[in-house]
């Protein structure tokens, strides 16, 4: 089988099923829709087989940090990651905006991404249209991602929403010297002061 790309767009797949596709020898890209189950299960990996995928799109699911970490631990050659800010979903039938059941820790997100810090070139982490229980005040720190060239992130990963929007110091020090494009996306009509890295 010489598949180059796989699109798993139904809810019948689990992270364990994803791994079975990840180890196909010539696969370059995987897109995943909603997962059937997002219970952490310590995905078993064959130590002889490593995933060749270069691009992974998980933007259709909000995945808890431990499960995203398990998935990324098996993708040592990953160059592009597209996903939502990791979290655990709650539901409120009376709100048009979904809430997340955990606090947002940008430092925790950085730790989750660590397995791909040497290979990652393009990172897209979106999802500020979700409400978090609270924010721990940390920031996403990408200094050790020395292949990273393009970043697009939710504003909540760089800025604590509880601090006035004019407080923007130190953002550029959190980026690697290889960066060519840096975009911060704000949602919910939040006004964000511009970031100047000159």
Q: Bin 170: left if φ > 0, else alpha if -120 < ψ < 50, else beta.
A: left
Q: What is the DSSP string of 131-153?
A: B-S-B-S-----TT-TT--EEEE
Residues in the chain, overall count: 198
| Closest by CA position to 161, among listed 124, 189, 183, 142 | 189
pLDDT in tens, the chain (198 residues): 578 999 988 777 888 888 888 988 889 999 988 777 665 555 555 655 678 999 999 988 878 888 888 889 888 899 999 998 887 655 543 343 444 566 788 999 999 999 999 999 999 998 755 666 778 889 999 999 999 999 999 988 988 777 765 556 788 899 999 999 999 887 654 444 445 554
In the chain the domains, ranked by start, together with CATH numbers, are 5-185 (3.80.10)
> Global pTM?
0.83
CA–CA separation, 74 and 22 (whole Å): 8
Neighbour tally for 124: CB within 10 Å = 18
Q: Which two tokens stand for residue 59?
A: 């933007």
């Amino acid at each position: 089988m010489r598949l180059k790309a796989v699109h798993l767009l139904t809810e019948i797949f689990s992270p364990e099923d994803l791994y079975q596709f990840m180890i196909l020898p010539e696969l370059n890209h995987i897109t995943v829709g909603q997962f059937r189950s997002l219970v952490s299960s310590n995905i078993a990996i064959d130590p002889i087989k490593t995933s060749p995928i270069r691009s992974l799109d998980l933007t259709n699911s909000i995945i808890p940090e431990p499960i995203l970490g398990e998935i990324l631990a098996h993708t040592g050659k990953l160059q592009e990651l597209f996903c939502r800010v990791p979290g655990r979903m709650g539901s409120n039938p009376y709100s048009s905006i979904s809430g997340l059941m955990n606090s947002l820790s940008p430092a925790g997100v950085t730790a989750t991404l660590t397995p791909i810090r040497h290979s990652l070139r393009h990172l897209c982490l979106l999802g500020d249209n979700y409400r978090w229980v609270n924010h721990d005040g940390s920031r996403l720190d990408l200094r050790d991602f020395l292949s990273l060239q393009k970043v697009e992130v939710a504003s909540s990963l760089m800025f604590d929403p509880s601090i006035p929007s004019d407080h923007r110091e130190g953002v550029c020090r959190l980026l690697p010297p290889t960066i060519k494009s840096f975009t911060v996306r704000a949602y919910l009509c939040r006004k964000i002061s511009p970031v100047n890295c000159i």
